[in-house]
Amino acid sequence: MSLMKREELLDATRHLLVRAGFYCSEVCRIRPSSFDFVARKDNMLMIVKVLNNIDSINEEVAKELLSISRFLDGVPVVVGRRSCSSLLEDDVVYFRYGVPIMTYETLKNYLQGMPPLITAAPGGFYVNIDGEMFHRMRNEMGYSVGHLARVAGVSRRAIRMYEEGERATIEVAERLAELMGTDFIKPINLWEEVWKEEVELRREINNEMLRIVEKMGAFIFPTHRSPFHAISEMLNERIIVGIKERRIEEKARLIANISKVAERDSVIFMEHFSKEKIEGVPVVNKEELRRIRDMEALIELILERK
């Protein structure tokens, strides 16, 4: 995998997920894009981006990827090969601005029921401690906090933090495990790690049609790097939103495909348009929006045109 070009790695990653039983969307070829495709298996939804060099992911891309994933009840996954300084290690999860990053082999192992144990962070490699188990074993063995701190070469406060589930370096975890004779390392849960991140789901809305919908009481999050223009929550419905723009037919096909995989409704708002659908996506024009009085009526119209 290390010699693959990005497109080859992208295809391999998508095929890997298909073989693991995931239903995958088409690849988003429209640039720029914060993700390449979405993949679902049962209740597991992944928003996937593939990069050769993970240092090319910046804060703006990461925040949008996290926001879209949070809104769709999914988890972002970046599959990468290297950073500017070195190749990525297998069975290690890296993070950039809160987004988990892993190699193809790490993802493959994860899908085969072997979740990674190691996280890369500033200062080295870390593992997650099962704090409840660690605390119980310490008490059962009669070890004081001070004794464990001396053995591990850390402070008493660090031991207390491990009992609360704080990460430990691999070296510290190995010293403690050797003393206690038990494994208290907890596999990395991507959902837990991502959903710990605070995500600011607020952006200025510049489009007039989106502002009309917002005044009805909808929550609107405009996207800057995706095939759709916004994601919206209308009452209890989460809806993917497109806006009339260049290449609208191509984007409508992608929106329809992504919506199907993500199991979310979608709509396209247009300035002037006589048809009720584009590529299977319901269309509502500006004049219709202005006549609609409340959110219930808008949702009803969208569902009627599905």
Is the pLDDT at 123 greater than 90? The verdict is: no
Around Cβ 35, how many Cβ atoms within 10 Å?
26
Fold of the 6-116 domain = Trna Endonuclease; Chain: A, domain 1 (3.40.1350)
Q: What is the mean pLDDT of residues 263-271?
A: 94
Is the pLDDT at 145 greater than 60? The verdict is: yes
Residues of the chain with CATH 3.40.1350.10: 6-116
- Spatial CA neighbour of 205 closest among 215, 197, 196: 215
* Both tokens assigned to 92: 């290690």
Q: What is the mean pLDDT of residues 208-223?
A: 92
Residue pLDDT, tens place only, 57-104 = 998 889 899 999 988 999 999 999 998 888 999 999 999 988 999 999
Is the pLDDT at 4 greater than 90? The verdict is: no
Residue pLDDT, tens place only, 150-172 = 999 999 999 999 999 899 999 99
pTM value is: 0.89
Q: What is the mean pLDDT of residues 130-152?
A: 93
Mean pLDDT of the chain: 91
pLDDT score, position 198: 67
* Both tokens assigned to 50: 């593939």
Give CATH for domain 126-186: 1.10.260.40
Residues of the chain with CATH 1.10.260.40: 126-186
Is the pLDDT at 199 greater than 70? The verdict is: no
pLDDT score, position 208: 92
pLDDT score, position 200: 67
CATH 3.30.70 holds for 208-304 = no
Is the pLDDT at 2 greater than 60? The verdict is: no
